[in-house]
Structure 1
Amino acid sequence: MDWLSEHAWAAWLGIAAALGMAELMSLDLVLIMLAVGAMAGMLTAVLGAPVVLQILVAGGAALAMLALVRPSLVARLHQGPELRLGTSKLVGQRAVVTQRITGLNVGQIRLAGETWSAAPYDEHDVIELGATVEVFEIRGATAYVHPVPELDE
Structure 2
Amino acid sequence: MPVALIWLIAALALAGAEALTGDLFLLMLSGGALAAAGSAWVLDWPIWADGLVFLLVSVLLLVGVRPALRRRMQSGQGLPEPARALEGKNALVLGRVARHEGQVKLEGEVWTARPLNENDVYEPGDQVLVVKIDGATAVVSKIA
Pairwise TM-score range, normalised by the shorter structure: 0.5 to 0.7
Counterpart pick for 1:23 among 18, 21, 28? 18
Query: d(CA) in 2 for partners of 1:22 and 1:10?
Result: 18
Q: Figure out how many residues of one structure are paired with residues of the other and give that number.
A: 84
Does 1:12 pair with 2:7? yes
Q: Distance in 1 between matches of 2:77 and 2:6?
A: 42
Gaps of 5+ in 1: 89-139, 141-153
Shift of 1:87: 6.5
Deviation sequence 1:113-143 (CA, Å, 0-9, x none): xxxxxxxxxxxxxxxxxxxxxxxxxxx9xxx
Residue 43 of structure 1, aligned match among 27, 38, 47: 38
Q: Does 1:69 align with 2:68?
A: no
Q: What is the SS of the residue equivalent to 2:76? A: coil
Specify which of 50, 57, 70 is matched with residue 54 of structure 1.
50
TM-score by length of 2: 0.54
The percentage of counterpart residues that share the same residue type is 31
Distance in 1 between residues matched to 2:68 and 2:46, nearest whole Å: 33
Question: In the TM superposition, what whole-angstrom CA distance separates every residue of 1:64-87 from its partner, at most 9, and x where no partner exists?
Answer: 000000000000000117743337
Which stretch of the first structure deviates more once superposed, 78-87 or 64-73? Answer: 78-87
1:80 partnered with 2:80 = no
Point out 4+ residue stretches in structure 1 off by more than 6 angstroms.
none
Displacement of 1:52 in angstroms is: 1.1
Return 5+ residue gaps in structure 2 as ranges.
88-128, 130-144
